[in-house]
Structure 1
Amino acid sequence: MNAMRWPTEVASADELDLSHEYILYVEGVSVSFDGFKALNDLNLYVKAGELRCLIGANGAGKTTLMDVITGKTQPDGGNVFFGQNINLLARSEADIAQLGIGRKFQKPTVFEAHSVLDNLEMSLKANKGIWYNLFAKLSAVQRDKIDEVLSIIGLQQQRHMLAGALSHGQKQWLEIGMLLVSDPLLLLIDEPVAGMTGQETERTAELLTGLAGERTVIVVEHDMEFVRSIARTVTVLHQGSVLAQGTMDQVQSNRYVIEVYLGEEA
């Protein structure tokens, strides 16, 4: 595909152009580390409101792709745009977070010595800067937002519990809530159900499918049954490129996926 001509900069997410339905454009992106191509001319397009699952063996490029989208890693070449008009490669990690792109890593990073409510309040205030965080009181609108998020993540009854006393699954939900208080447009979620019980996995599937629509959600996951339960579209990465894309049934029956990802002969 020929490279597109993109505008170079835009002021804020308020100007996000979603007129072509897509919220994320990753085109021709390559990343090399000491001669190893972590991403190899990768193209990925994600529609606004979509729940997309990324799968692939270790080293396929999933984490590197998220690093590029969030500004942690600069690619050797290619374009990454948020909507039609926001060039993410021209933005810092902090700027990208402010634009409405939130990322949740595999291991929960909650403040365990603080309550669930405190964790959400600190996350909300963190978007406003240090001075605000130290001295400002939350408005009624902000408190309503926290109450809404507590309802979404199912931790209303645990609001005053120390985060360290939560189950593993509840900590994962709290961290998702810590992203949600800032109203992100795009959520990048890394292996959300690793280590969860069956019941927690089911609840997480409900949570993520409920988030899609108003928000766009990209999930990296190794649990294929979980992927099947939530995904309409699955993208398979292999050696830094897109190997296949489609429904779970289409992907699992793809001869190339069977050969290289499932390790079987077609």
Structure 2
Amino acid sequence: MQPRPAFDQPVDTRKGPILYVEGVSVSFDGFKALNNLSLYINDGELRCIIGPNGAGKTTMMDVITGKTRPDQGQVYFGQTINLLALQEHEIARGGIGRKFQKPTVLETLSVYDNLELAMASNKGVWSCLLHTLNGEQRDRIAEVLHLIRLTAQARQQAGALSHGQKQWLEIGMLLMQNPRILLVDEPVAGMTGEETERTAELLTSLAGRHAVIVVEHDMAFVRSIARTVTVLHQGSVLAEGSMDKIQNDPKVIEVYLGE
């Protein structure tokens, strides 16, 4: 399998964060979805993003991943890679993975085959499936299966998994592409209590090796994993800090936590 196409320069984090979102504004038919938003994520950081509906959380992720172009502002991957100059597929292959709220696994294929396909997402489906994996690739799939706790389900059809297991599989599929940044949208929506706990353990274990940005409404879940929390409101950062600081911020209580 051929390696994922890389940027023409390495991601440089020697002088600061791995992700810069600076002064970004986005308008849709006169509505400002993002309003001079600035956000900085460090390499290996676990960051939770919260805020009321319409705060700009999805638009923020759309801008970072190249789906939406801002009216103004800058978005950099490390100090030198301008994400606004790249297409969606280039950003995904270059090291920024996004998991949407609804799982998008290939349900008729096995868990193992889903991971194998994700490892070679730049190749055709059949050429990938007919390709013989080398030892290093098999080891990587085994490692990810263990990490997402689906080793026992490796040969099971993905469509037979529970909702939570499908979410873990999709996270595993992103991990097969070795991202530097993972954007995870409402990962525990619809999960059982046990699945939620396991998801908290999984995302916490990923921090350090990856920068993990979690957008979530479930405050109990956010409290269980939060290191730094950013609160968005009307397209801007309303507050940022530890969960204790956020929970006691009068502005946050007024516009969000008091709902």
TM-score by length of 1: 0.92
Matched residue count: 254
Could you say which residue in structure 1 is the equivalent of 2:139?
Answer: 144
CA distance in 2, matches of 1:139, 1:186: 26
Q: Which residue of 2 aligns with 1:213?
A: 208
Partner of 1:86: 81
Does 1:33 pair with 2:28? yes
Which residue number corresponds to residue 12 of structure 1? 7
**Structure 1 residues 131, 154: CA separation in 2 closer, same or farther (over 3 Å shift)?**
closer
**Which whole-Å deviations, capped at 9, do the CAs of 1:128-180 have from their partners, x for residues lacking one?**
45685365332221111111100110000000111111111100000000000
Q: 1:174 aligns with which of 160, 169, 177?
A: 169
Aligned with residue 188 of structure 1, among 160, 165, 183: 183
1:163-216 deviations in Å (ceiling 9; x for gaps): 111111100000000000111110000000001011000000000000000110
The structure-2 alpha-carbon separation of the partners of 1:170 and 1:61, relative to structure 1 and needing over 3 Å to count, comes to: same
The one-letter code matched in structure 1 to 2:17 is Y
Cα RMSD after superposing both structures: 1.5
Q: Does the 8 Å CA contact 1:80/1:87 hold for their aligned counterparts?
A: yes
Unmatched segments (≥5 aa) in structure 2 = 1-5
Q: SS of the residue aligned with 2:48?
A: strand
> Secondary structure in 2 aligned to 1:53?
strand
Cα distance in 1 for partners of 2:152, 2:108 equals 18
CA distance in 2, matches of 1:222, 1:45: 21
Q: Is the 8 A contact 1:125 1:132 kept in 2?
A: no
What is aligned with 2:3?
Answer: none
Task: Indicate yes or no: 2:101 matched with 1:106.
Answer: yes
1:53 aligns with 2:48: yes
Deviation at 1:258, TM superposition (A): 1.0
Whether the 8 Å contact between 2:184 and 2:215 is mirrored in structure 1 is yes
Offset at residue 14 of structure 1 (A): 5.6
My pick for the range that moved more, 226-235 or 15-24, is 15-24
- Number of the residue aligned with 2:154: 159
Distance 2:8 2:170 in 1: 23
Q: Distance in 2 between matches of 1:46 and 1:13?
A: 22
Q: Which SS does the other structure have where 2:37 is aligned?
A: strand
The answer on 1:199 being equivalent to 2:190 is: no
Task: Please name the residue that 1:222 is paired with.
Answer: 217
Please give the alpha-carbon distance, in whole angstroms, between the structure 1 residues aligned to 2:203 and 2:192: 16
Q: Could you tell me which residue of structure 2 aligns to residue 8 of structure 1?
A: none
